[in-house]
Structure formats: C-alpha cells, structure tokens
A and B are shown apart, each in its own frame.
Chain A
Amino acid sequence: MSISVVKNSNLDADRAIRTASALSVRGLTVSYGQTPAIFSVDMTVRTGAMTAIVGPNGAGKSTLLKAALGVVKPLAGTVSVFGQPLARMRDRIAYVPQRASVDWDFPTRVIDVVMMGMYRKLGLLGRIRASHRAQAMACLDRVGMSDFATRQIGQLSGGQQQRVFLARALAQDADIYVLDEPFAGVDAATEKAIIAVLKELRDTGRTVVAVHHDLTTVPDYFDDVVLLNTQIVAAGLVSKTFTEQNLQATYGGRLATARADLESTAG
C-alpha cells in the first residue's frame, strides 16, 4: 500500500512536470546596439509537441532561440524550462546550431563531434568507455551516418554535416531539442531522415522546437507554430494559427516574395 502511495506521488510529480510547458519565455528582449532583434517576446512551447518558429529574414528567429538557450544575453526577460530557471535545466536541452556557425575544417572526426554531446555527462575527466562509444555510434546510426564515423568532418556534404549535428544532440539524450534552421541547404534525403528522427523524438515525449523557413512544409512537419517578426504575431496549433491572415501579418509585403523564393528553390 505504502509503496503504491509513493509511486502515485512520483507519478503526480512527473505529471506536473509534463503538463508544465517545456520552455517558457517572458518579456524577452534582445538588442544588438540600439535596434531590438526581438522585442518583449512571450512564448510557451508545449511539452511533447513539435513547434516551428517562422518569420521573415531578420525577424529574430535565431536570436530568440539563442536567447532562450542563454547563448545570447537578453536585455530583459526570463526563461524557464519545465517551470525551473534555465540555469539549472541546461542539461535537459540539446541545441543544434546553424551549420554555418562552425568551421568545418576543424580537426575532428564525425564520431568525436557526436561524443561532444556527452561531455556534460562525462564531466572534465570522466573516462570515455566502450559503452559511450557504442552510444555515440547508435546516435549516428539513427541519422544514417554510421558509415562516416571516422571521416574528418570537412569531407561531409552539407546534409551530412547537419545529420552529425543532430546526432550530437541525440547523444545528449535531452528532453528538449532546439534546432536552428535544420533543413537549410540540405538534400531531400537528409530532410526526410531528420524529420523522421524529430517525429520519433516527439512520439517518445520529447519536445522539439525548430526555426523553419519553408512555409509549405510547416503543416506536414509541425504541431504548433510561432509566427515571429521581432514581436510575436501569432502562436498556437498549426491548424488554427497557420492562416493566410496571420502569415500576411507576419511577412507583410514579403509574403509573396517568400513564397516565390520557395518555389524557385523547389523547382
């Protein structure tokens, strides 16, 4: 009896964490110089859902992610993760930066990059054991890159580089996956592989947030959408929020251009 009580209270605590929003941002403002990149952004990311952050170029999408992760220091605002301050919850979040943000000539191999996802867990001096390597290989396998484990990262194509970044995030075994333009400049096979992994994460209760630029695939890929243009224009379920009217309000005169660009890249 007493055992089941303990179990119940654990379950309650567990549920409390799960029903809380995974990532919550209040009044977040980031400014480079005197112009705000994002202004007073309130955003709530639903636990166990896939959320797209969408908006025109220069809308502050990447900045919002970076500020939410503590990579960029905000001028104002707070970030909480599962109801706790960000600082205490960092190991619960895995970040996949833009591919172009690193030097791919860096002397490291594919498997080493994936191992970096475990550095937090390993600590400063923790020995890398065979089990860690096996885990890293399993992550590479999930993104279809296990054949490339010992390649130097500079020898990879753009899509392959993106998959390696995703594998590093998987190695972190986090609860929230935050991706900055994961589909930018990748081949169709990679896009398919990445979205499959992300959906798998979502289906096992993880939360996925991604900056996304392809308006046509938003309804297929994501559950929720945040429309951003320096400020939040609209946010919520894709089925309710991703409307012509809201898009018009987000992109303004640039909506036609955004679509034409997409068609030209698709064609």
Chain B
Amino acid sequence: MLADALLLQLGYNATLVTLGACLLGIAAGVAGTFLFLRKRALVSDAISHATLPGVGLAFIVMVSFGGDGRSLFGLLLGAGVSAAVGLLCVHWLATRTRLGEDAAIGAILSVFFGLGIVILTIIQTMNSGRQAGLEGFLLGSTAGMLRSDALLLAIAAAAVLALVMLLRRPLELAAFDPGYAEAAGWSLARIDLAMMGIVLVVTVVGLKVVGLILIVALLIVPAVSARFWTDRSDRVVLIAGIVGGVSGYVGAAVSAVAPALPTGPIIVLVGFALFLVSLLFSPGRGVLASVLTHWRYQRRVHMRQGLLALAQGQPIYEKLTHRLMYRAGLILPDGVATGDGQAAASKALLDETRWSIVRADQSFAAAATRYDGLTAIEEFLTKDQLREVDRRIAAPQAVL
C-alpha cells in the first residue's frame, strides 16, 4: 500500500498532493537554508503566524463582494499581505526600538495569531463562514487539493528556486559576513528584504499543505539536517532541498495511505526522522562520529604518554594506559617494556625531541603549527629538514 503511494499509484488526488508537497519541501529547504545560515530561523515563525489575520480578512472581503470566499489565490494573497505587515513590524521593532529581534518575533507572532483566531471565530458566526474550511490553514489540509492548487505550488517553487539561484552569492555573503558584504557594495537591507520575500512566498503557498504552525519546521529542519553532511554552503543548500523534497514526498505518501493522519504533521515528522539520522550518523559532525573520534583520540594520547613514560623509565600509573599498552604488546603485565615497547618508546622520545627543536626555531614556523603532541614529525618535514634537526640534537647549539 505504501509502495503504491510512493509510486504515485493511489489515484489522481493523492498524486497531486504528493507532488505538490515534494515541490514545497524542495523550495522550503532551499529558502530556509539561508534563513538558518543568517541565524534568523525564527523570523519565519513570525511570518507564518502573521498570515492568519490576512486569511480571515481576505475571506470576509471576498464574501462581501459576493464571492463564496474560498478562492485559494485570494486567501493566499490576503495571507501574503498580512505576513508582510507582520514582517515589517518585526523589522521596525528590532531596528528602531531597544527590543531585540527575539522579543519582537515573540510579540508579533502572538498578537497576529491571536487576532487571526478572533477573526476566524467571527467568520464561524457568519452564514457563509461555516463551510469555509479556514481552520485547514492552521495545520494544513490537503484533502481537497485541486489541480490549480498544485500548479500554484509548482510555479511558486520554481520562482523560489530561480530567485535563490540568482541571489545565491549575495545571500551567502550576507549570511557569512554582513559587514563585509555591505562594505563591498551589496545592500544588506535589500538582500535581507529579498530573503524575507522568498521565505514569505514559501510560507504562504505552504499554508494549505502543512499549515502555518508547522511551516517553520519545513523551512528549518532540512537546513539543520543538511549542515551535518557538508562543510560547504552550496552543498548545504542542495542537500536541504533534497531533504525537504523527500520529507514532503514521503510524508504526503504516508498520509495518503492512512487518511486519518494529517498530512502536514506527517511531513514534519518524516523531516524530523531525517534530521535524527543526520544528527546521529553523519560522518563529520554526527554524535556517533564525535564519540568515536574522541574515543580514538583519547587512546592515542594514552599510548603516547605511556611510551614517553617508558622511554624516561617512569612507571605507568593509569589503568587505561596500562591496558592499551599491554594489549598492543608493548609491555608485560608487570609494566616492564617488551622489545617492541622499547623500540616504540625510543622512537616516541626521538620524535618529541625533534618537535621541541622545530618548535623553538622560527625557520620551522610553518611545521611548528602542526604540532599536536601525537603525530610523527616525519609527516611534516622533508628529509633534508629532518637531517638538519637531527644534526642539532647531536650537537646542541649554545643557548642564547
């Protein structure tokens, strides 16, 4: 059944929803990456909550002009306008008053959301309001998704991708080093405006699919997950797009199989699962990798310290050191060095002596920065340099 859903075999509507959610996920992942890199992830939360009054007011306006008020385009237009107003309020509070951006976000988010709920409640009391289905904007409702809705998503997603492609350099620069960007002649205000515009478009078209409460997750979770897999911002963008797209696709497919489950939250949970995998298993920054790296590093330190102790004829006190060296066949159970142990110990001592000469000499400054107390010096010096160092060990120079 799930396989059918994943292969888009569950009928027209399910296919529309799945493709739409996938496109939205890609657009949100890509757009959200720059928000995340600029450390303004939570602004998107303010934007999404600020859409609600606009949805309600747009409905009232459309009804009072004689429509049935359910035109998705009209509702989203209202959402966009009211989100833009909310965004301007956040911007004004953060730059013109002593409030920080976090406080401004909190204030605007809750006030606009509260206002939106009041307006929706009023609409519930109107004759034409009962079947409006506006509460679907809170958590998303994909059940009645039309071909035109999916088309709107596709166009918006394409526009977002094109804009990000066009503006990728200033966006990257503004996120990494805003002062430099400004000095180099990019207008930071305009870059930020463009970024917020892109996020606003994603948020507004995403309302119908994941809803305003959860859209922030679709913007941020893919970027955060992608960061675990690469150290290059262009690849973070790419991977975030993939993570977002997969979340949308799989999430929508799962909820097509189990119609009782709401699409938006399922999409977010799939995204979260991908995040969890990244957090635990990514090779560079993942939790497992850092535990392993630390474990290996600790063992190398213990071995090195043990060898140096052997070379200097000192006893080995630490149990871990003792155990490691015994297992490596370097010492006997009573702590006495084996033949291998003696060879390795004198090698370690020689290495340490060579390092101390290199580190004391300005002419080896480049190599000296590589000292970590563990790595053999041969990895950084040429044979000639090594001979020079050894010459000095044999005939120590007068201390200045």
Contacts and interface: CB of A to CB of B under 8 A. Distances in A.
Given A71-B179, A101-B177, A107-B227, A120 B232 contact: no
Contact of B176 (A69, A108, A124): A108
Interface string B181-204: 011111000000000000000000
A112 B172 CA distance: 11
B13 interface: no
A90 interface: yes
A197 interface: no
Interface in B300-339: none
Given A125-B166, A189-B365, A107 B185 contact: no
A233 interface: no
B233 interface: yes
A242 interface: no
B366 interface: yes
A101 B179 contact: yes
A124 B236 contact: no
Interface string B131-173: 0000000000000000000000000000000000011011011
B127 interface: no
A66 B178 CA distance: 12
Contact of B180 (A97, A187, A189): A97
Contact of B233 (A66, A108, A157, A187): A108
A109 B235 CA distance: 12
B230 interface: yes
A172 interface: yes
Give the size range of B's interface with the partner.
Answer: 20 to 34
A71 B232 CA distance: 26
Interface in A131-182: 144, 152, 157, 160, 168, 172, 178
A102 interface: yes
A107 B184 CA distance: 21
A251 interface: no
A91 B184 CA distance: 6
A90 B172 CA distance: 19
B167 A90 contact: no
A93 interface: yes
B214 interface: no
Contact of B231 (A66, A97, A109): A109
Contacts of B182: 69-71
A106 B176 contact: yes
A102 B183 contact: no
Contacts of A178: 183
Interface residues of A, number: 33
Nearest to B176: A106
Given A106-B175, A125-B166, A189-B365, A95 B180 contact: yes
B372 to A, nearest CB: 12
Given A106-B176, A109-B232, A189-B365, A70 B167 contact: no
A30 B182 CA distance: 17
A94 B39 CA distance: 25
Most buried by A among B173, B179, B230, B362: B179
A93 B183 CA distance: 8
Nearest to B362: A189
Contacts, number: 81
Interface string B106-139: 0000000000000000000000000000000000
A116 interface: yes
A168 B231 CA distance: 19
| Chain A interface main SS type | mixed
Interface in A33-69: 66, 69
Which of B37, B172, B175, B185 is most buried by chain A, counting CB atoms within 10 A of its CB?
B185
Nearest to A108: B233
B382 interface: no
B369 interface: yes
A97 B177 CA distance: 9
Contact of A95 (B173, B179, B186, B369): B179
B48 to A, nearest CB: 25
B166 A124 contact: yes
B183 A119 contact: no
B173 A119 contact: yes
Contacts of A122: 169
Contacts of B232: 107-109, 112
A76 B13 CA distance: 62
Interface string A190-224: 00000000000000000000000000000000000
Contacts of A106: 37, 175-176, 233
Interface of B: 37, 39, 166-167, 169-170, 172-173, 175-177, 179-180, 182-186, 227, 230-233, 235-236, 362, 365-366, 369
Interface of A: 66, 69-71, 90-91, 93, 95, 97, 101-103, 106-109, 112-113, 116, 119-120, 122, 124-125, 144, 152, 157, 160, 168, 172, 178, 187, 189
17 contacts: A91-B184, A102-B177, A103-B39, A106-B176, A106-B233, A107-B37, A107-B231, A107-B232, A108-B172, A108-B232, A116-B180, A120-B184, A122-B169, A160-B369, A168-B180, A178-B183, A187-B369
Given A66-B179, A91-B185, A106-B37, 16 more contacts: A70-B183, A71-B179, A90-B183, A91-B184, A95-B183, A97-B179, A103-B176, A107-B227, A107-B231, A108-B232, A116-B172, A119-B170, A119-B173, A124-B167, A168-B180, A172-B184
